[in-house]
Structure 1
Amino acid sequence: MPLIIIIVSLIALKYFEIGPFAGISWWWIAGLMGVAFIWFEFLERMFGLDKRKAHEEIEKTRKERVKKTFDSHKRR
């Protein structure tokens, strides 16, 4: 996500010609977009980062459900 924020910021700085970013080439920004595309489409899947986030969400939800169930049984 930080890569996307950097890309959007660079696009805005280049478009509005702010500071030293007015002089950079659009190719640098396009190159960063290519890196982001490769990261999110291929490398993240290869390293299993997309699945890890999903598993963490499921595990968190499961733990909350178990805790809520045991808390309700203790009250009875």
Structure 2
Amino acid sequence: MYLLAVGIALLLMRYLEIGFMAGVSWWWVAVPFGLTVAWWTWADTTGYTKRKEVEKMDRKKKERIDKQRAALGIRTRKR
């Protein structure tokens, strides 16, 4: 996501001809977009995205259970 933000910033700077970007080739502006596509392809192919999503859901589930146990006065066990 950071690469996409960098790409958009470079695109705007090149289009509006701000600073050093006025003389830079359009190919340099396209590089972050290509890297973003490569990252998303790799993340989806290897399962990285799904794994992070499952970890986030598990963390939320654990926090919800701990909150409910604390409300009932039950101690949570440390593993």
Report the TM-score range of the alignment, normalised by the length of the smaller protein.
Answer: 0.7 to 0.9
- Equivalent residue, structure 1, for 2:23: 23
Measured after TM superposition, the shift of residue 28 of structure 1 is 2.1
* Offset of residue 48 of structure 1: 2.6
The runs of at least 4 aligned residues of structure 1 exceeding 3 Å deviation read none
Q: Partner of 1:58 in structure 2? A: 57
User: CA-to-partner distance for each residue in 1:3-59, whole Å, 9 max, x for gaps?
Assistant: 01110110111011111111111122223312211221x211233320122012111
Residue number in structure 2 paired with 1:46: 45
State the distance in 1 between where 2:64 and 2:18 align.
50
Measured in 2, the distance between the counterparts of 1:24 and 1:52 equals 39
Gaps of 5+ in 1: none
The match for 1:37 is 37
State the distance in 2 between where 1:32 and 1:8 align. 9
RCO comparison, higher one (Cα < 8 Å, 6+): 2
Higher helix share goes to which structure? 1
Count of residue correspondences? 74
TM-score, scaled relative to structure 1: 0.79
Provide the TM-score with structure 2 as the length reference.
0.76
Distance 1:32 1:73 in 2: 51
